[in-house]
Amino acid sequence: MARPPKERRVEYLPAVTVFKPAGLPKAALEEVVLTVEELEAVRLKDLERMEQEDCAAKMRISRPTFQRILGTARAKIADALINGKGLRIEGGNYQLAGGRFQCQACLSYFDLTFPHGRPVEKLVCPRCEHPQPRRVEGGAGPGRRSRGRHGRRGPG
């Protein structure tokens, strides 16, 4: 019996999930489906310009697995662009990473974890309910102080 596939760690869910060529009716279009983890691989490698080894570590998968996911994603994107197909982002086998967020409206910071690794239906600021807060990379943010390695104040 085959081992069930391991969930890939994803830090980004797109606000827009469907793209189509201009001037063509949606009903007449063929669609290419890009999974959420394929989009994450493209985001990390091509947009964030990270090294493959770092991308794989961030997604918690092996480097060869990352390479396969990235190659599949790039082939699907090329097919959609060159052959005039629509592109839909959905599905996949992923676990949404929690983290630190900042609201773009009220500028407050908050930590968020996702139950069972799945996204909440609508990601909003808990203070002002503004949609689409921005993920903040690891930083402590105003009013929070990082205590360095192992969270200790001093040696030992």
Residue 120: pLDDT band (50, 70, 90) is: low
Are the C-beta atoms of residues 153 and 147 closer than 8 Å to each other?
yes
Helix 63-82 × helix 52-59 angle, to 10°:
100
Say which CATH topology domain 8-96 has.
Answer: Arc Repressor Mutant, subunit A (1.10.10)
* SS3 per residue for 59-82: HCCCHHHHHHHHHHHHHHHHHHHH
**99-102/86-89 β-pairing:** unpaired
Residue ranges per domain, the chain? 8-96, 98-140
Q: Taking the model in full, what pTM does it have?
A: 0.67
Residue 134: pLDDT band (50, 70, 90) is: confident
Are the C-beta atoms of residues 8 and 44 closer than 8 Å to each other?
no
Condensed to tens digits (0 to 9), the pLDDT of residues 51-108 reads 999 999 999 999 999 999 999 999 999 999 999 999 999 999 888 877 788 888 898 8
